Amino acid sequence: MLFRTPPQAPEQQDERVPSVAASWSEAEEITLELVLYGDVEPDQVSILRARADGILEEIASQGSQVSRGDRVGQLSADDRAARLARAEAQVASADRDFDAARGLADRDLGTEAEAQARRAELEAARAELRAIELEIANTELTAPIDGIINEVIADIGSYVSVGGEVLEVVDNARLIASVQVQQTGIQGVRTGMPAQVRFIGGGTREGEVRFVSVVGDAATRTFRVEVEIDNSDGELPSGLSAEVTLPVETVTAHRVSPALGRLDEQGRLGVHVLDDEDRIAFLPVEVVRARGDGVWITGLPERARIVTISQGSLAPGQQVDVTETPPEYLGAQPDSDAAVAAHPEGAAEATEPLEAGGDNATSAEDDG
pLDDT in tens, the chain (368 residues): 334 445 554 554 456 788 999 999 999 998 888 899 999 999 999 999 999 999 999 999 999 999 999 999 999 999 999 999 999 999 999 999 989 988 888 888 888 898 899 999 999 999 999 999 999 999 999 999 999 999 999 999 999 999 999 999 999 999 999 999 999 889 889 999 999 999 987 889 999 999 999 999 999 999 999 999 999 888 888 889 999 999 988 899 999 988 898 998 899 999 999 999 999 999 999 998 888 778 999 999 999 999 999 877 889 999 999 999 888 776 543 333 333 223 333 222 323 333 333 333 333 333 33
Same domain, 262 and 329: yes
Q: Is 276 within the bounds of a domain? A: yes
Among 37, 200, 68, which residue's Cα sits nearest to residue 142?
Answer: 68
Q: Is 160 within the bounds of a domain? A: no
CATH of residue 360's domain is 2.40.420.20
Q: Is 62 within the bounds of a domain? A: no
Same domain, 127 and 189: no
Q: Is 134 within the bounds of a domain? A: yes
Among 309, 291, 251, 249, which residue's Cα sits nearest to residue 27?
Answer: 251
The per-residue pLDDT for 92 is 95
Integer CA distances (angstroms), 144 to 43, 47, 75, 151, 300, in order: 14, 8, 16, 14, 60
Strand partners, 84: none
Domain hosting 338: range is 19-29+251-367
Last residue of a domain, one of 123, 138, 153: 138
| Euclidean distance between CA atoms 157 and 226, whole angstroms | 41
Same domain, 309 and 256: yes
Last residue of a domain, one of 215, 249, 283: 249
Q: Is 95 within the bounds of a domain? A: yes
Q: Is 154 within the bounds of a domain? A: no
The per-residue pLDDT for 112 is 87
| Euclidean distance between CA atoms 280 and 278, whole angstroms | 7
Among 210, 193, 200, which residue's Cα sits nearest to residue 38?
Answer: 200
SS3 121: helix
Same domain, 298 and 355: yes
Same domain, 243 and 255: no
Last residue of a domain, one of 249, 272, 301: 249
Tally of domains within the chain: 3
Question: What are the two backbone dihedrals, phi and then psi, of residue 356, each rounded to the nearest 5 degrees?
Answer: -70, -15
Same domain, 341 and 282: yes
19-41: b or e for each residue (b if 16 or more CB lie within 10 Å)?
ebbbbbbbbeebebbbebebebb
| Euclidean distance between CA atoms 246 and 196, whole angstroms | 7
Same domain, 257 and 359: yes
The per-residue pLDDT for 159 is 96
